[in-house]
Amino acid sequence: MAEQDPTLTPDDLKVLGMQLGMGALAAISTTGLQKALVSSHAESKGAVYSLFFKLLEETAFKAGEGMHRLEEPFLPVIAAFVAPILGGLFGADVNEAEFRRKLARGEGARGAQAIVEG
């Protein structure tokens, strides 16, 4: 029998390294590392979406406040247009003063009733 040479060639080391690497990758994929990476990615996306919607909510709230502040000085101008339109289209007996006192209880009821009946 002929003796085999126990030294490894560079090609043998390359094949051995590839086998070890593939074995390590197979072991990593069966562990929780892959699940942890997917989970952390999903959590980071969720945090970004949460921040986006919080900012969107704040922006909408501030825009609503701004519109409310602008409404007060322009309400007489708006009322001057809306009251005759309601009267002409729906036959409502509504005056501008009812629209100016928008916060009083029951104001605008006649205009709303005329729209429903119209």
Residue 16 lies in a domain: no
pTM above 0.75? no
Residue 47 lies in a domain: yes
Residue 107 lies in a domain: yes
Residue 79 lies in a domain: yes
Domain hosting residue 56, numbered range = 26-117
Q: Are residues 93 and 76 in contact, defined by beta-carbon separation less than 8 angstroms?
A: no
Higher pLDDT, 18 or 86: 18
Residue 3 lies in a domain: no
Residue 17 lies in a domain: no
Question: What are the tens digits of pLDDT across the range 25-72?
Answer: 777 666 676 677 778 888 888 889 999 999 999 999 999 898 888 877
Residue 82 lies in a domain: yes
Residue 52 lies in a domain: yes
How many other C-beta atoms lie within 10 A of the C-beta of residue 102?
13
CA distances from 34 to 18, 28, 30, 85, 107 (A): 21, 7, 8, 66, 63
Quickly state the pLDDT bin for 24 (edges 50, 70, 90). Answer: confident
Distance from CA of residue 73 to its chain's centroid? 32
What is the number of structural domains in the chain? 1
